[in-house]
């Protein structure tokens, strides 16, 4: 008899077909988000699950699902997993790093250009029928070329963002929990600086730090106060890394000249004050959302699940200490 698995949200047909070769699949193709009680009920008797960032896997849920052996996120982030609880309960947890790096870096640049050059604001103006003709001072934006790009968080995605800056002749500075090896810095044409220097020098500031308790509100009122007046601020990592209330205050004071945001605290809810600013580009957590990338993410998660329940080592295991728990 094949093991039973749950796919918590709608996925692509090829991922379901691949899973069906190995498992009895319960798939939520209706794509209705499952609350905690519904998720626990659907996971009853299941050996594994393909999950998303909205599915909270914690000690309370795991206690109700003793047969669960693996949870595999269709995401590079995994702050929906209580990894300690997963390890304690003998549940392997995986994510999908690597396959979304380029698409997320591309989208970061879409936000940079749209925010700096007032693309969203000017498009709304035109669509509303307000454009009456060309004017010399109309929608004056900020040049991206030659501006200093500051990157907070220089993992795989941050490095991809830095490499793309070369085409705009931009000096790149970065701050990270650990300095990168010199060969990577050279490849990215990036210079390591302290956090305060990063905040003070960046003309365009982009956040690529993962979310954890250590990075909660890493960018808040104190950080915004140290930034250049008129800085272009970009956030496409994880909600909670930035204090959205402090961001609203910095926008209101004019400290931030423009912003491009793809993630928010408490999403899909967001601070309603953000909607009041014409100089903010807002997108609904879609930085990795190209068709090819999302298909690859779903398939990698499925491959993780097959490996985990097949007696092998999943390629993207997040809790390798499982055997020592």
What pLDDT score does 55 carry? 96
Query: Tokens at residue 287, please?
Result: 């930085």
Q: Can 4-99+291-324 and 101-282 be said to share one CATH topology? A: yes
Per-residue pLDDT of 134-162, as tens digits, reads: 999 999 999 999 999 999 999 999 999 99
CATH entry 3.30.479.20 includes domain 4-99+291-324: no
Write the class of the CATH domain 101-282. Answer: alpha beta
| Locus of tokens 């272009």 | 232
Cis peptide before 268 (omega within 30 of 0): yes
Tell me whether residue 201 is one of the annotated catalytic residues.
no
Strands, sheet with 256-261, edge to edge from the N-terminal-most edge strand: 190-192, 172-175, 149-152, 204-207, 231-235, 256-261, 280-282
Distance of CA 33 to the CA centre of its chain: 19
8-state DSSP, 171: -
Per-residue pLDDT of 38-95, as tens digits, reads: 999 999 999 999 999 999 999 999 999 999 999 999 999 898 999 999 999 999 999 9
Q: Is-contact 66 44, C-beta < 8 A?
A: no
Confidence of residue 323 (pLDDT cuts 50, 70, 90): low
The helix/strand/coil state of 19 is helix
Tell me whether residue 324 is one of the annotated catalytic residues.
no
State the catalytic residue, choosing from 156, 216, 217, 285: 285
Per-residue pLDDT of 295-318, as tens digits, reads: 999 999 999 999 999 988 899 999
Confidence of residue 325 (pLDDT cuts 50, 70, 90): very low
Q: Spell out the domain ranges in the chain.
A: 4-99+291-324, 101-282
State the catalytic residue, choosing from 9, 238, 265, 294: 238
pLDDT at residue 37 tops 80:
yes
Per-residue pLDDT of 247-256, as tens digits, reads: 999 999 999 9
Tell me whether residue 238 is one of the annotated catalytic residues.
yes
């Amino acid at each position: 008899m094949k093991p039973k698995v749950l796919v918590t949200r709608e996925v692509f047909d090829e991922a379901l077909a691949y899973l069906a070769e190995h498992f009895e699949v319960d798939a939520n193709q209706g794509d209705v988000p499952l609350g905690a009680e519904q998720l626990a009920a659907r996971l009853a008797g299941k050996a594994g699950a393909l999950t998303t960032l909205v599915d909270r896997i914690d000690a309370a849920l795991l206690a109700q699902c003793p047969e669960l052996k693996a949870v595999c996120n269709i995401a590079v982030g995994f702050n929906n997993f209580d990894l300690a609880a997963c390890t304690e309960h003998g549940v392997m947890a995986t994510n999908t790093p690597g396959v979304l790096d380029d698409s997320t870096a591309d989208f970061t640049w879409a936000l940079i250009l749209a925010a700096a050059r007032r693309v969203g604001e000017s498009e709304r103006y035109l669509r509303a029928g307000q454009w009456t003709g060309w004017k010399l001072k109309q929608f004056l934006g900020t040049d991206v070329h030659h501006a200093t790009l500051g990157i907070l968080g220089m993992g795989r995605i941050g490095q991809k963002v830095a490499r793309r800056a070369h085409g705009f002749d931009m000096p790149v500075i970065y701050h990270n929990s650990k300095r990168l090896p010199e060969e990577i810095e050279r490849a990215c044409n990036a210079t390591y600086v302290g956090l305060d220097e990063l905040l003070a020098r960046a003309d365009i500031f982009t956040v690529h730090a993962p979310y954890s308790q250590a990075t909660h509100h890493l960018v808040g009122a104190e950080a915004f106060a140290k930034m250049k007046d008129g800085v272009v601020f970009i956030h496409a990592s994880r909600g909670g890394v930035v204090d959205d209330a402090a961001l609203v205050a910095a926008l209101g004071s004019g400290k931030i000249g423009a912003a491009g945001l793809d993630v928010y605290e408490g999403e899909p809810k967001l601070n309603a004050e953000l909607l009041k600013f014409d100089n903010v580009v807002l997108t609904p957590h879609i930085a990795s959302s190209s068709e090819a990338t999302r298909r690859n993410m779903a398939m990698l998660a499925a491959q993780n699940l097959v490996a985990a329940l097949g007696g092998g080592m999943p390629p993207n295991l997040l809790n390798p200490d499982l055997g020592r728990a």
